[in-house]
Structure 1
């Protein structure tokens, strides 16, 4: 289907940076309380280290803008008088974030410090940089024994590892003590195969189950490339299918305690292998994942991803057709709305019933065998084809109006329902008017969705490109709403020769005027979402297609 990109040596950050080259920023905060949303920061202290050497220090008192509890004063020694002339959080926080830079953040009980820092960023409206975080408490729980230290408090660990600085609830001194603890723990972690920053962050997480540790070898030798990964049991059957822009890195997370989902832990218990499917880029990976889940229906993927569970609004085939919600897709060219959820489909049917006098009863009718009308016929909500009041030709005209409303004239339903809402509101039947509004919203959303996909499928061939994370372009050749070719172009070179080769080698796809089934619609939606990203640019369209997408692209930056 797609052209795979040539092999690329994994980047350093994909493999992990050796710990001796990693810059750590060890931070400690003093605060007025324990809850980030109810307390303020009184002091920030940080020490930046690399290769076992201190490369910088940061310390500042902070005026919290509120009185400090006397109990906190006794603990930290920081009083209202000390912070009275200190800078505000708005002044200190940007300076600290600049000091932090791109370093890995380290703290003792990191959840506390990170929680306060994130809340502080929200408060002063600066973005939280989301640095990698290492918690020395979690490391100590895994790397120290009770016979060595009675607990994992900073003071106890500082004594264990011989810190020259004694923690005293002042931010900079506590950060200095944490540096010694960090170095001692890293030395011990090396005996557990921890040699890079990624190893350390993963090892720092809460203890995984014995089963997860035993199965961790399944993540060995996987590619650091975009693609799909398939967990398989001992007989080769697919258990779970996932997607990632870095398969190796993503699969490793299933074997840490960060994976807490019971369903997936059960899956890991059955897994005996992981098969990667390398793709040209993230878009191709997303499409391949969707296709593989649709075909294989692995038991540990959510059933909601199965296309056959989607619903359609369609017309029945009989003398007097009616609307129905069905999981069976209508033939291409037949009136339809969808695919969508069953609830939205039913709401759309109710909207059409409110706007058009198409029959609603479920029995099969025959012009030669009239039957007594139902309640809707008796109150004038149905033209009564059942008793011969409406002929086959009369009802056919209503069906034709319904088909147009589903295909090209959705506005007629909107006008009818708006008029009905105004009528109900004038009668002060506000709850009924609200129900009609919900029906209208559901119909308009489904109509717009179906029209959007239909016009995309009819467009023929669309060639588009999005900038790659490491340069070059991620290119897709789309035919009738399906991915027919994909390539990541080489950074630093004119991309057009590679794009032309991808177009020439793209799969042949039969042209069609509408989506064939829910799988077709699902793939088209994935492609449309990618095309609607701000950075995606349309290179060429072989057909007629109008959209609010950016493009076309006249030139590419190599």
Structure 2
């Protein structure tokens, strides 16, 4: 898999191939962090669910100790506090548990090509660990591939509104809650693939994806921000 960031507004993804889309097990994962900038921020929560045939068959959820204080706005947004960070396990311990939980399943994330994967890669490099070899599907790319006639920013809210997905029963900006929400988005996209008799996800020639750009006022340190894109 190759991800090329063309600008702050878009990137291309190629070299992804997943066959038998509709029957295999998946591990849907999500992160929370101290902020949205991968270069300067740190993971505070990793969660994942095992998902197959429309059913959640397992859950994983852990805080991750951050070397950086969580800004007030991010504490309010995620509900994760600096006090909880004092007793949270370190990244290497949580990462091992996460890998054991996911096993060899194909991973699924929302906006993961632009946030979650770079964040995990950064933390692995800091701790001298190897990034997992699992294939990763980003629901933004999966949706863009099946709807190539559209050229919008396929944010979480965009996909929720498009599929008319209920989200009042899960906490947003909580990694586990977002995993559950991603599973609903993912299941709807898989139905689109089924309707078009598409049994695999294949990006050999590359696909351009628009990135979510946070309004400048929301990126100020005092206001924090969210990576929910």
Q: TM-score, normalised by structure 2?
A: 0.72
Does 1:136 pair with 2:139? yes
Pick closer, same or farther for the CA change 1:145–1:71 going to 2, 3 Å.
Answer: farther
Find the counterpart in structure 2 of residue 127 from structure 1.
Answer: 130
Pick closer, same or farther for the CA change 1:146–1:173 going to 2, 3 Å.
Answer: farther
Paired with 2:164 and 2:49, the residues of 1 have a C-alpha distance of 18
Find the counterpart in structure 2 of residue 91 from structure 1.
Answer: 93
Which residues of 2 match residues 102-113 of structure 1 at below 5 A? 102-111=104-113, 112-113=115-116
Structure 2: gaps spanning 5 or more residues: 1-16, 209-229
Q: Could you report, residue by residue, the CA deviation over 1:279-309 in whole angstroms, capped at 9, with x for unpaired residues?
A: xxxxxxxxxxxxxxxxxxxxxxxxxxxxxxx
Asked if the contact 1:29/1:42 (under 8 Å) is kept, the reply is yes
Q: C-alpha displacement at 1:31, in angstroms?
A: 0.6
Paired with 2:41 and 2:94, the residues of 1 have a C-alpha distance of 16
Pick closer, same or farther for the CA change 1:16–1:139 going to 2, 3 Å.
Answer: closer
Q: Could you report, residue by residue, the CA deviation over 1:32-55 in whole angstroms, capped at 9, with x for unpaired residues?
A: 122333211001111111122212
Asked if the contact 1:163/1:181 (under 8 Å) is kept, the reply is no
Q: C-alpha displacement at 1:169, in angstroms?
A: 0.4
Q: C-alpha displacement at 1:144, in angstroms?
A: 5.9
Does 1:189 pair with 2:138? no
Asked if the contact 2:23/2:52 (under 8 Å) is kept, the reply is yes
Pick closer, same or farther for the CA change 1:89–1:158 going to 2, 3 Å.
Answer: same
Count of matched residue pairs: 188
Asked if the contact 1:161/1:184 (under 8 Å) is kept, the reply is no
Q: C-alpha displacement at 1:139, in angstroms?
A: 2.5
Which residues of 2 match residues 249-268 of structure 1 at below 5 A? 253=204, 256-257=205-206
Asked if the contact 2:22/2:190 (under 8 Å) is kept, the reply is no
Find the counterpart in structure 2 of residue 117 from structure 1.
Answer: 120
Find the counterpart in structure 2 of residue 49 from structure 1.
Answer: 51
Pick closer, same or farther for the CA change 1:161–1:25 going to 2, 3 Å.
Answer: farther
Which residues of 2 match residues 3-14 of structure 1 at below 5 A? none
Q: C-alpha displacement at 1:145, in angstroms?
A: 9.9
Q: Which residue, 71, 74, 82 being the options, matches 1:72?
A: 74
Q: C-alpha displacement at 1:182, in angstroms?
A: 0.2
Q: C-alpha displacement at 1:157, in angstroms?
A: 2.2
Pick closer, same or farther for the CA change 1:132–1:16 going to 2, 3 Å.
Answer: closer
Find the counterpart in structure 1 of residue 220 from structure 2.
Answer: none
Q: C-alpha displacement at 1:258, in angstroms?
A: 5.7
Paired with 1:186 and 1:163, the residues of 2 have a C-alpha distance of 17
Find the counterpart in structure 2 of residue 544 from structure 1.
Answer: none
Paired with 2:81 and 2:136, the residues of 1 have a C-alpha distance of 30
Which one has a bigger Cα radius of gyration? Answer: 1
Which residues of 2 match residues 345-494 of structure 1 at below 5 A? none
Find the counterpart in structure 1 of residue 222 from structure 2.
Answer: none
Tell me the secondary structure at the aligned position of residue 104 of structure 2: coil
Q: C-alpha displacement at 1:192, in angstroms?
A: 3.4
Which residues of 2 match residues 156-235 of structure 1 at below 5 A? 156-159=158-161, 160-163=163-166, 165-166=169-170, 168-195=172-199, 199-200=200-201, 202=202, 205=203
Tell me the secondary structure at the aligned position of residue 21 of structure 1: coil
Q: C-alpha displacement at 1:141, in angstroms?
A: 3.3
Higher relative contact order structure (alpha carbons within 8 Å, sequence separation ≥ 6): 2
Find the counterpart in structure 1 of residue 24 from structure 2.
Answer: 22
Asked if the contact 1:63/1:83 (under 8 Å) is kept, the reply is yes
Find the counterpart in structure 2 of residue 318 from structure 1.
Answer: none
Asked if the contact 2:141/2:207 (under 8 Å) is kept, the reply is no
Paired with 1:129 and 1:50, the residues of 2 have a C-alpha distance of 20
Find the counterpart in structure 2 of residue 154 from structure 1.
Answer: 156
Tell me the secondary structure at the aligned position of residue 162 of structure 1: coil
Paired with 1:157 and 1:30, the residues of 2 have a C-alpha distance of 20
Find the counterpart in structure 1 of residue 38 from structure 2.
Answer: 36
Pick closer, same or farther for the CA change 1:79–1:145 going to 2, 3 Å.
Answer: farther
Structure 1: gaps spanning 5 or more residues: 1-14, 206-252, 260-558
- Aligned-pair Cα RMSD in Å: 2.7
Q: Could you report, residue by residue, the CA deviation over 1:373-406 in whole angstroms, capped at 9, with x for unpaired residues?
A: xxxxxxxxxxxxxxxxxxxxxxxxxxxxxxxxxx
Q: TM-score, normalised by structure 1?
A: 0.31
Which residues of 2 match residues 510-521 of structure 1 at below 5 A? none
Paired with 1:122 and 1:161, the residues of 2 have a C-alpha distance of 39
